[in-house]
Amino acid sequence: MTHINQYLSSLAHNYFLISIAAVLFFTIKAIAAYLSYQHYNKKLKYIQDTLEELNKKITEKD
C-alpha cells in the first residue's frame, strides 16, 4: 500500500502529465459537445421546417 501511495504522490507532482491529461480531457469534452450540438441542431432544424410548413398551410387557407 505504501508503494502505491508513493507512486501516486510522484505522479501528482508531475505537472507535465497533469497538463497532458487536462488537454486530453478538454479535447474529448469539446468533441462530445460538438457531436451533441450537431445532433440537436438537426432535431431543431426538423422542428423549424415543420413549423414553417404548418404556417404556410395555415396562411394558404386564409
pTM: 0.60
Range of the domain at 55: 15-61
Residue 22 is placed in which grid cell?
487536462
Q: Let me know if residue 33 belongs to a domain.
A: yes
Those residues with Cβ within 8 angstroms of residue 17's Cβ, 6 or more apart along the chain or in another chain: 11
Distance between CA atoms of 34 and 41, rounded to whole angstroms?
A: 10
So what's the pLDDT on residue 57?
92
pLDDT digit string, tens, across residues 12-55: 788 888 899 999 999 999 999 999 999 999 999 999 999 999 99
Residue 50 lies in a domain: yes
Q: How many helices and strands, by DSSP H and E, does the chain display?
A: 2, 0
Rounded mean pLDDT of 1-20?
Answer: 84
| pLDDT the model gives residue 62 | 63
What was the pLDDT predicted at 7? 81
> Is pLDDT of 11 > 80?
no
The answer to whether residue 4 sits within a structural domain is no
Residue 3 located in a structural domain = no
Please check whether residue 1 lies inside any domain of the structure: no
C-alpha cell at position 37: 450540438
Q: How many domains does the chain have?
A: 1
Q: Is residue 54 part of a domain?
A: yes
Question: How far is the CA of 34 from the CAs of 9, 23, 28, 30, 56, in angstroms?
Answer: 35, 16, 10, 6, 32
